C-alpha cells in the first residue's frame, strides 16, 4: 500500500463519521428533498478525498471524474420506457481549514478556534438517446464553526444542491428541465459542559426548494424550521439524545401554476428521544422513538399525527467492514396528499480490501401511504384511489478500485422500483388534456463505469 493511500485508510478509520452515516446521506428520506441519485463517490465524502494539498492553515482537495452508464428507464415510466446511454462529468473542489488528522499531527485537534469547510461539485449529465439532452447539476456547501471545542459555540452553514435527473414522466410536455434546486441555510448555537459530555444545540433553518420548469413550479416551497437537540454522552461511547423540530412550510407559486395536485402549507412538530452508541467493540446501535404532528392549511388535507420509531444495528466484524441493518417508521411531507407515512427496512454493507478496493451494497424496501390526495379543486381524487400506496425498493452495488493514490476506477449498478397500482386521473379542470403515462409504478436499472482523479 502506498503511503498516501495508507493515510487515506487511516483517515477513514479515524473519522468521527461512521461509515453507515455516509450511506444514509446518499438517500435523503424527506420526500421533497432529493431528486435523482448522486454518483456513488459523491455520497461518500470520506472516501472521495485524498490527502489533499496544504496551503498554510487551509487544505484543498480537487477531484475530477468521468462516468458512462446506461439508464434503462430515464423518465421512470410505467409503460413505454425510454432507455439511454448517459455521460456524466464531475469536477469538484473542497477547501477547508486543516482537518483533524493534520491538526493532530501539528498541534492537537482541540486547539482550533474556528473551522471552515466548503465544497463545490459541478456534474454535467448528457443523455445520448433521449430528447432531454444535457443539464448541469451540482452542489455547493459551506460551514463556519466558531469555537468548535468551546463551552459555547456558534455555527452557520449553507448547502445548495441542484439535481437534474428526471423524476417523473413529462415526455408529453416537450423536453422540460427537471432541475430541482434546494437551499438549506442553518444557524446553530451550541452549549456544552467542560468535558463535552453534555451538549445542547438550538438553531434556525431556512429551506427553499424550487424547480426550473413551470411544469413543476407549483411545488416550489419555503420552510422555516426551529431545531433543538440535547445529547449526553457516557462511557464507553454512548449517548442519550433528544431532539425537536418545528417546521413551517409554505408553497410559493401554486396559485398561478397549471399543476393540478392540491398543495397546502403545513405546520409540523416532531420530537424524539433515544440512545446512540457502542455496545461492544464490534456492535453499535441507534434506538429512538418519537412523535410527529402536522397541521395543514384549510380543511381539505387531513391533519396527521403519530408515533415515529427507528432502530439500527451496526456491526463491524473486521476493521474495514461495516454492516448495518435498520427499520424506521416516520411521517414526512409529500407533494401528494400532504404527508406520507413511511415504513422502511434497510441493510447496508461497506468494505475496504487491502486499502485499495472499496465495495458497497445497499438494500432498501419500504411501504408508503400518503394522505388523501386530491386535485386542485379539493374534491376530485388525484388518482384511482384516495390514498397513494407504494412498495418501493432500491438495491445498489458500487465498487471502486484505487489504482494509485490519485486514480480510481469505479462502477455502480442500481435497481429501483415502485410497485403500486396507483394511476393518475386526468385533470377535471381541463378536459382537453390527458396524462400520457398515468401509471405511477416503475422499474429502473442503471449501470455505470468510470474513472476518478482525486487529491
Per CB under 8 A, contacts with another protein among 91-130 are none
Shortest Å distance, C-beta 405 to another protein: 22
Distance CA 200, CA 233 (A): 12
Shortest Å distance, C-beta 235 to another protein: 5
CB of 93 or CB of 419, closer to another protein: 419
Shortest Å distance, C-beta 338 to another protein: 11
Q: Can you give the length of the chain in residues?
A: 455
Shortest Å distance, C-beta 391 to another protein: 10
Query: Is 419 one of the binding residues for another protein (CB under 8 A)?
Result: no
Query: Is 454 one of the binding residues for another protein (CB under 8 A)?
Result: no
Distance CA 326, CA 284 (A): 12
Query: Is 430 one of the binding residues for another protein (CB under 8 A)?
Result: yes
Query: Is 362 one of the binding residues for another protein (CB under 8 A)?
Result: yes
- What are 443's strand-pairing partners? 417
CB of 57 or CB of 236, closer to another protein: 236
Q: Strand (E) positions, 279-406?
A: 283-296, 304-318, 321-333, 339-353, 357-372, 387-402
CB of 33 or CB of 156, closer to another protein: 33
Query: Is 448 one of the binding residues for another protein (CB under 8 A)?
Result: no
| 178 torsion bin: left (phi>0), alpha (psi -120 to 50), beta (else) | alpha
Query: Is 6 one of the binding residues for another protein (CB under 8 A)?
Result: no
- Which residue matches cell numbers 434497510? 346
CB of 367 or CB of 401, closer to another protein: 367
Query: Is 241 one of the binding residues for another protein (CB under 8 A)?
Result: yes
Query: Is 170 one of the binding residues for another protein (CB under 8 A)?
Result: yes
Spatial CA neighbour of 275 closest among 249, 301, 312? 312
CB of 410 or CB of 417, closer to another protein: 417
Stretch that binds another protein, among 28-36, 48-56, 86-94, 125-133 (CB under 8 A): 28-36
Touching another protein, residues 300-359 (CB under 8 A): 310, 312, 314, 316, 326, 328, 330, 334-337, 340, 342, 344, 346, 348
Shortest Å distance, C-beta 266 to another protein: 15
# of chain residues touching another protein (CB under 8 A): 98
- Contact string (CB under 8 A) for another protein, positions 257-286, x = contact: -xxxx------------x-xxx--xxxx-x
- Which residue matches cell numbers 379539493? 378
Distance CA 127, CA 187 (A): 38
Q: Strand (E) positions, 193-265?
A: 198-211, 221-234, 238-251
DSSP-derived 3-state class of residue 424: strand
Distance CA 101, CA 92 (A): 21
Query: Is 27 one of the binding residues for another protein (CB under 8 A)?
Result: yes
Touching another protein, residues 33-62 (CB under 8 A): 33-37
CB of 368 or CB of 405, closer to another protein: 368
Shortest Å distance, C-beta 278 to another protein: 5
- Tell which one of 6, 29, 79, 379 touches another protein (CB under 8 A): 29
Shortest Å distance, C-beta 236 to another protein: 5
Shortest Å distance, C-beta 90 to another protein: 18
C-alpha cell at 446: 442503471
Shortest Å distance, C-beta 150 to another protein: 15
Distance CA 285, CA 279 (A): 7
Touching another protein, residues 211-230 (CB under 8 A): 215-216, 219, 229
Distance CA 266, CA 339 (A): 10
Spatial CA neighbour of 98 closest among 108, 90, 88? 108
Spatial CA neighbour of 399 closest among 409, 389, 385, 407? 409
C-alpha distances out from residue 252 to 206, 208, 213, 249, 303, Å: 14, 10, 14, 10, 20
Residues 203-224 as b/e (b if ≥16 CB within 10 A, e otherwise) read bebebebbbbeebbbbbbbbbe
CB of 93 or CB of 246, closer to another protein: 246
CB of 62 or CB of 200, closer to another protein: 200
Distance CA 342, CA 97 (A): 39
Amino acid at each position: 500500500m502506498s503511503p498516501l493511500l495508507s493515510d487515506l485508510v487511516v483517515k477513514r478509520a479515524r473519522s468521527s463519521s461512521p461509515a453507515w452515516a455516509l450511506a444514509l446521506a446518499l438517500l435523503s428520506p424527506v420526500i421533497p428533498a432529493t431528486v435523482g441519485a448522486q454518483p456513488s463517490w459523491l455520497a461518500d465524502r470520506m472516501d472521495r478525498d485524498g490527502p489533499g494539498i496544504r496551503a498554510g492553515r487551509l487544505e484543498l482537495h480537487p477531484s475530477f471524474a468521468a462516468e458512462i452508464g446506461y439508464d434503462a428507464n430515464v423518465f421512470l415510466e410505467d409503460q413505454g420506457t425510454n432507455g439511454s446511454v448517459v455521460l456524466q462529468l464531475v469536477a469538484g473542489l473542497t477547501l477547508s481549514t486543516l482537518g483533524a488528522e493534520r491538526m493532530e499531527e501539528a498541534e492537537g485537534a482541540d486547539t482550533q478556534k474556528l473551522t471552515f469547510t466548503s465544497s463545490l461539485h459541478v456534474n454535467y449529465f448528457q443523455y445520448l438517446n433521449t430528447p432531454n439532452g444535457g443539464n448541469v447539476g451540482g452542489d455547493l456547501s459551506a460551514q463556519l464553526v466558531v469555537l468548535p471545542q468551546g463551552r459555547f459555540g456558534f455555527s452557520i452553514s449553507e448547502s445548495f444542491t441542484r439535481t437534474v435527473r428526471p423524476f417523473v414522466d413529462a415526455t408529453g410536455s416537450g423536453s422540460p428541465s427537471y432541475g430541482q434546486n434546494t437551499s438549506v441555510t442553518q444557524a446553530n448555537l451550541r452549549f456544552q459542559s467542560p468535558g463535552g459530555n453534555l451538549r445542547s444545540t438550538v438553531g434556525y433553518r431556512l429551506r427553499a426548494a424550487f424547480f426550473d420548469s413551470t411544469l413543476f413550479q407549483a411545488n416550489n416551497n419555503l420552510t422555516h424550521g426551529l431545531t433543538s437537540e440535547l445529547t449526553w454522552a457516557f462511557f464507553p461511547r454512548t449517548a442519550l439524545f433528544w431532539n425537536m423540530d418545528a417546521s413551517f412550510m409554505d408553497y410559493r407559486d401554486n396559485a398561478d401554476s397549471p399543476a393540478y395536485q392540491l398543495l397546502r402549507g403545513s405546520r409540523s412538530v416532531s420530537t424524539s428521544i433515544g440512545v446512540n452508541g457502542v455496545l461492544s467493540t464490534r456492535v453499535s446501535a441507534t434506538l429512538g422513538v418519537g412523535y410527529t404532528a402536522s397541521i395543514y392549511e384549510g380543511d381539505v388535507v387531513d391533519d396527521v399525527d403519530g408515533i415515529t420509531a427507528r432502530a439500527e444495528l451496526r456491526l463491524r466484524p473486521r476493521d474495514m467492514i461495516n454492516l448495518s441493518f435498520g427499520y424506521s417508521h416516520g411521517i414526512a411531507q409529500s407533494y401528494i396528499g400532504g404527508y406520507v407515512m413511511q415504513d422502511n427496512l434497510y441493510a447496508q454493507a461497506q468494505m475496504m480490501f487491502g486499502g485499495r478496493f472499496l465495495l458497497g451494497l445497499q438494500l432498501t424496501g419500504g411501504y408508503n401511504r400518503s394522505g388523501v390526495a386530491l386535485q386542485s379543486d379539493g374534491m376530485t381524487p388525484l388518482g384511482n384511489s384516495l390514498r397513494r400506496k407504494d412498495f418501493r425498493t432500491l438495491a445498489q452495488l458500487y465498487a471502486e478500485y484505487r489504482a494509485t493514490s490519485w486514480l480510481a476506477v469505479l462502477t455502480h449498478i442500481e435497481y429501483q422500483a415502485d410497485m403500486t397500482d396507483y394511476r393518475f386521473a386526468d385533470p377535471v379542470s381541463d378536459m382537453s388534456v390527458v396524462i400520457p403515462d398515468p401509471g405511477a409504478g416503475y422499474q429502473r436499472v442503471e449501470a455505470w463505469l468510470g474513472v476518478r482523479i482525486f487529491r
